[in-house]
Amino acid sequence: MMTISLFETIAQHGHEGVLTCYDAKSGLKGFIGLHNTTLGPGLGGCRVMRYASEAPAFADVLALSEAMTYKNSLAGLPYGGGKAVIWLQEGQEKTPELIDAMGRCIKSLNGSYFTATDIGSTSADMKRMKAISPYVSALSPEDGGLGDSAILTGLGVYQGIRAAVKHRLGKTSLDGVKIAIQGAGKVAYHMLSHLTQEDVTVYITDTNAEAIAKCQAAYPNIKVVAPTEIWHQSVDILSPNAIGGTITNEVLANTTATIIAGGANNPLSHKGVATTAATADILFAPDFAINSGGVIVLSTELAKGTIEEAKAKTLGIYDTALKVFEVAEARKINTLEAAIALAKENIANHAKG
């Protein structure tokens, strides 16, 4: 049993509700979190991941769905914050039956939540869910979707990095900049296609040898380092692009970087790290302000739009990030607080009509 007060925790995060998903036959244990649906139905991916217990799975769905509220708001999308989590227990593998069971849970919400791919789920999983529930995005092009959303997530994070370099270093290009990238997955891979067009020194790491090999094959000039060494490189930018919670006060105390900007969701170990960064004059680009390229693709797909329309909107992340930095300075608050404040103001203005 969870040793937390469910309703107190939900209230602290400001959620509208959390659906507990259980199916004995398939072995499904999971959650769907709806944080705020003022702007529209919740939209966010379905994470399929191993957790030590139900408590961290529950905490993850709360944090991720809350971040989706802010992400969708800052991106100007007609969707609120939602997220699904499938808790894989020890020895349990993802199965078609597990995906089908979650699809039925999503269908039961009658359009209050739209799902998509996330860590551990694929476009093939979305195709299965789509056969059960209409509230699904992130389909492959042959199934009527817009394809891999990580492509524009990478572009958006690159735009956020450009904005951070402009604001913090006063440079309009990344020439001469050094960046340490933690995580060589799809987002980082596509981000590299933009970074390597400029004279940027890239240090990269991942525990997945295949992911590193793919990046090295495409971009042979990148420098691969051990996972334990990535935060200790002499760089201008730290870019977390793997799981959340990797940027700690200790990392900040031992880095030369003056910018934190990456594609990972919830990269700070806790919200207080944003204050530590501001105090240390390290510019943190809030994840949900710059990694929204993927959800822009999902929203565009649901609206039957084109990938060109999604790309044009993704390029606007540069201006969004600059606005966050400027508001933080003007209001004398950290950038995480500024991004949340701007997102909440958008929601409040929408509610007023």
> 272-296, pLDDT tens digit by residue?
999 999 999 999 999 999 999 999 9
- Please tell me whether residue 329 adopts helix, strand or coil conformation: helix
Burial 307-320 (b: 16+ CB within 10 A, else e): beebbebbebbbeb
> 75-123, pLDDT tens digit by residue?
999 999 999 999 999 999 999 999 999 999 999 999 999 999 999 999 9
Report how far residue 42's alpha carbon sits from residue 39's, in angstroms, rounded to the nearest whole number.
Answer: 9
Q: What is the pTM of this model?
A: 0.94
Report how far residue 200's alpha carbon sits from residue 330's, in angstroms, rounded to the nearest whole number.
Answer: 31
The pLDDT assigned to 8 comes to 81
Q: What percent of the chain has pLDDT over 90?
A: 95
The pLDDT assigned to 6 comes to 77
- Please tell me whether residue 138 adopts helix, strand or coil conformation: coil
Report how far residue 299's alpha carbon sits from residue 296's, in angstroms, rounded to the nearest whole number.
Answer: 5
The pLDDT assigned to 4 comes to 53
Q: Which domains does the chain have, with CATH numbers?
A: 6-67+80-143 (3.40.50.10860), 150-292+319-344 (3.40.50.720)
Long-range CB contact pairs, 54-59, < 8 A, 24+: 54/2, 54/29, 54/87, 55/2, 55/3, 55/4, 57/29, 57/30, 57/31, 57/85, 57/87, 58/2, 58/4, 58/6, 58/9, 58/18, 58/31, 59/9
**CA proximity to 136, closest of 116, 150, 156, 112:** 116
Report how far residue 343's alpha carbon sits from residue 114's, in angstroms, rounded to the nearest whole number.
Answer: 20
**Averaged in consecutive runs of 10 residues, what is the pLDDT profile of the chain (353 residues)?**
67 91 98 98 97 94 96 98 97 97 98 96 97 97 94 98 98 97 97 97 97 98 97 98 94 97 96 97 98 98 97 98 98 98 97 86
Residue 62 tokens, joined: 């709360």
Residue 277 tokens, joined: 């960064």
- The residue to which tokens 């209050």 are assigned: 112
Report how far residue 33's alpha carbon sits from residue 46's, in angstroms, rounded to the nearest whole number.
Answer: 10
Cα–Cα distance list, 298 to 55, 138, 205 (Å):
29, 6, 28
Residue 265 tokens, joined: 């969701």
301 close to 138: Cβ distance less than 8 angstroms:
yes
The pLDDT assigned to 336 comes to 98
Cα–Cα distance list, 221 to 10, 186, 309 (Å):
46, 18, 32
Could you give the residue numbers annotated as active site? 83
